[in-house]
């Protein structure tokens, strides 16, 4: 079973979903902006992705700038807390299959899981 953390307004997220479907995979779709992640889920995704919070955060978002999250003294925990408070800071899409996950940037990354 595959799961996609999806934002339908994002072209990369839509493209990743289309690749999954073209390969016969109908994933569980998690609309993380409507139903924000809890801390254990986000931390688990970071582990499966083998990424730090700094690698998963969207630096171009206004909430990133407004909260000075690019400062050199911002901790991993502070970035996680910010992503929980402002889910649009989470890079997307994330696709999970079992204990593995990839970031769909570029969308073709999802092929690693199939």
Segment 65-102, tens digit of pLDDT: 999 999 999 999 999 999 999 999 999 999 999 999 99
11 assigned to active site: no
Assigned CATH for 2-113: 3.40.30.10
pLDDT value of position 109: 97
On whether the CB atoms of residues 48 and 71 are closer than 8 A, the answer is: no
Task: List the catalytic residue out of 4, 10, 79, 90.
Answer: 10
pLDDT band per the 50, 70, 90 thresholds, residue 113: very high
Residue 113 burial by CB count (10 A; 0-12/13-18/19+): exposed, middle or buried? middle
Strands 28-30 and 100-103, how do they pair?
unpaired
Give this prediction's pTM. Answer: 0.94
């Amino acid at each position: 079973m595959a799961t996609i953390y999806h934002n339908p307004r994002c072209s990369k997220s839509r493209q990743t979903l289309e690749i999954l479907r073209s390969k016969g995979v109908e994933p569980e779709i998690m609309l993380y902006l409507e139903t924000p992640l809890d801390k254990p889920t986000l931390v688990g995704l970071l582990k499966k992705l083998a990424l730090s919070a700094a690698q998963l955060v969207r630096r171009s978002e206004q909430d990133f700038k407004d909260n000075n999250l690019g400062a050199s003294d911002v901790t991993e925990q502070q970035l996680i807390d910010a992503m929980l408070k402002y889910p649009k800071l989470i890079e997307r899409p994330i696709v999970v299959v079992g204990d593995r996950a990839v970031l769909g940037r570029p969308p073709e990354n999802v092929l690693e899981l199939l």
